[in-house]
């Protein structure tokens, strides 16, 4: 599951998994600030939901998305939570434990002021069922 607000770098691999691998991918409809409610999230989660992917922040609108809320729902439901921190790594504090983030994807060349083309994927306590 993801949201309608994601960058193509998230959307395209999800669409690949959907179209080529038969993975069920759903998108929560966020408002123009990228906001989704807890009720919306709970309504869309099914027993088959294994992964939720969401951005932390947008460079287009400046919106900061409700990562803590999504993380707490993921923890409660045992769902792996992947955050796209492309626009926030090095800019905003990110505490993977406190925010219940299982995987954090980030570029080196944006807010971390690193070399072009670098990036990372931090992973903690991931269990693929
Ligand atoms: C939210 C988000 N995710 C992913 C990306 C892709 O980042 P990159 O160009 O470093 O691969 C961007 C780039 O603007 C972004 O804003």
Say which range, 18-22, 31-35, 51-55, has the weakest mean pLDDT: 31-35
Q: 123, 64, 57: which is closest to 84 by C-alpha?
A: 57
Residue 124 pLDDT level (bands cut at 50, 70, 90): confident
Flag whether 75 is in a domain. yes
Indicate the number of domains in the chain.
1
The whole-number average pLDDT for the span 11-26 is 97
Which amino acid residue places its CA nearest to atom 13 of ligand 1? Answer: 86
Q: What pLDDT digit, counting tens, does each position of 56-114 carry?
A: 999 888 899 999 999 999 999 999 999 999 999 999 999 999 999 999 999 999 999 99
**Local structure of residue 20 (DSSP, 8 states):** H
Flag whether 128 is in a domain. no
Flag whether 46 is in a domain. yes
Q: What CATH number should be reported for the domain holding residue 52?
A: 3.40.640.10
pTM, 2 dp: 0.93
Distance 104 CA to ligand 1 centre (A): 13
Q: What pLDDT digit, counting tens, does each position of 38-47 carry?
A: 999 999 999 9
Flag whether 129 is in a domain. no
Q: Is 100 in the pocket of ligand 1 (CB under 6 A)?
A: no
Q: Is 88 in the pocket of ligand 1 (CB under 6 A)?
A: no
CB-based contacts of 57, cutoff 8 Å, min separation 6: 63, 64, 65, 85, 87, 88, 91, 92
Where in the sequence is the domain holding 42, given as residue range(s)?
A: 2-123
Instruction: Please tell me the predicted confidence (pLDDT) of residue 32.
Output: 76
């Amino acid at each position: 599951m993801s949201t309608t607000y994601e960058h193509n770098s998230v959307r395209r691999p999800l669409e690949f998994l959907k179209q080529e691998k038969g993975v069920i991918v759903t998108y929560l409809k966020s408002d123009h600030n990228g906001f989704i409610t807890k009720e919306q999230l709970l309504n869309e989660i099914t027993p088959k939901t294994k992964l939720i992917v969401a951005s932390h922040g947008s460079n287009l609108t400046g919106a900061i998305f409700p990562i803590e809320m999504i993380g707490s729902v993921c923890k409660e439901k045992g769902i792996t939570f992947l955050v796209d921190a492309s626009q926030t790594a090095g800019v905003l504090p990110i505490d993977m434990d406190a925010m219940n983030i299982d995987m954090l994807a980030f570029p080196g060349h944006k807010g971390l002021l690193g070399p072009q083309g670098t990036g990372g994927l931090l992973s903690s306590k991931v269990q693929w069922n």
